[in-house]
Amino acid sequence: MDPFIRDLPKAELHMHIEGSLEPELMFQLAQRNDIELPYGSVEEIRAAYEFSNLQDFLDIYYAGAGVLQTEQDFYDMTWAYLERAKADTVRHVEIFFDPQTHTDRGIAFETVVTGIHRALVDGRDELGISFRLILCFLRHLSAEAAMHTLEMALPYREWITAVGLDSSEVGHPPEKFRDVFDRARAEGFLTVAHAGEEGPPAYIEQALDLLHVERIDHGVRCLEDDALVERLREAQVPLTVCPLSNVKLRVFDRIEGHNLAHLMARGLKVTVNSDDPSYFGGYVGANYEAVANGLGLAREDLVTLARNSFEASFLSDEDKAAYVAEVEAYAAERS
Ligand code: ADE
Ligand code: ZN
């Protein structure tokens, strides 16, 4: 990897922790927990990672998460991600977890959240990576199920900064979760939502108007609606864009056709993220490198993306300023 990209201080704001589970660890956890996988080897698992849309991917992703049983399993998965993040000079992470993927298999909410949180605390203390945790509701399940999940999260609210919305987008518009998000905000959670990945620009509008989100996850389809672009620009609503994910899931056919440079040129607050790095062929540094090479971004564009990543985070203004100063110092040293 280009050392300039590797060493650029950055935050990652859109990463599903279950999507960081590498085939090697999946295999190891299956053995440790005596779980039969439909694959005979690590190579077979990797070979199955051929998707042509979001649903193909989600089917494999939910199956892979079935190896996670104990608090230590969730710890080990999260720790492995943090070590990868450290290697890419990630200084701050805001990661998603999907509790329903686990509670629906009989794993306690407490097991999931405690394992992840414990690894995040160790990552902060030993790797110097600050963190926030975001609970995502699975939008293909009912609003009632999401409300029940929110209630399970209330005892852990000190550990969970925000709620989000992921899984199959089309046919499950943000409005379906309006009451759940109202309750979440009343309980003190911030909100984000996946919108405009495969779904239309109207879903982005709904996420803003009905769910009152602080950021839009993906949001790349906003360019189909000029008025929406102007609104996102005016309010500087961050978009957490995931370039390699978008190519793997065929939102764009090739990285050279990705609209990230257009989003930036329209004045939007764009960030670069990995989404599900184990499945999509690269961690956050690889995503920066893919857009740098594929779209011919200049170093100052990469610095803008890194600066945006901290400014779009849920850190305090003071912490944002300190990280942005780190980015500026890094850029100044190398210009
Ligand atoms: N869950 C994990 N990755 C996702 C994505 N890219 N879109 C929707 N749900 C997801
Ligand atoms: Zn995502």
Domains of the chain by residue range: 3-178+274-333
Whether residue 178 is predicted with pLDDT greater than 90 in this model: the reply is yes
* Angle, vertex CA 51, rays to CA 54 and CA 105, nearest 5: 60
Q: Which two tokens stand for residue 254?
A: 């090739």
Closest-CA residue to 145 (of 110, 109, 172, 180): 180
Say what the pLDDT of residue 63 is.
86
Which residue of the set 94, 197, 311, 326 is catalytic? 197
The question of whether 36 is a catalytic residue gets the answer: no
- Report residue 51's pLDDT band, with 50, 70 and 90 as the boundaries: confident
Judged by DSSP in three states, 156 sits in: helix
Whether residue 246 is predicted with pLDDT greater than 90 in this model: the reply is yes
Whether residue 52 is predicted with pLDDT greater than 90 in this model: the reply is no
- Ligand 1: residues within 6 Å at CB? 16, 19, 54, 166-167, 194, 197, 245, 275-276
Q: What is the mean pLDDT of the segment spanning 235-257? A: 98
Q: What is the mean pLDDT of the segment spanning 239-250? A: 97
Cα distance between residue 63 and residue 65, in whole Å: 5
- Report residue 175's pLDDT band, with 50, 70 and 90 as the boundaries: very high
Domain 3-178+274-333 -> CATH class: alpha beta
Determine the distance separating the centroid of ligand 1 and the alpha carbon of 56, expressed in angstroms: 11
Closest-CA residue to 267 (of 299, 231, 302, 241): 231
- Report residue 70's pLDDT band, with 50, 70 and 90 as the boundaries: very high
Determine the distance separating the centroid of ligand 2 and the alpha carbon of 74, expressed in angstroms: 19
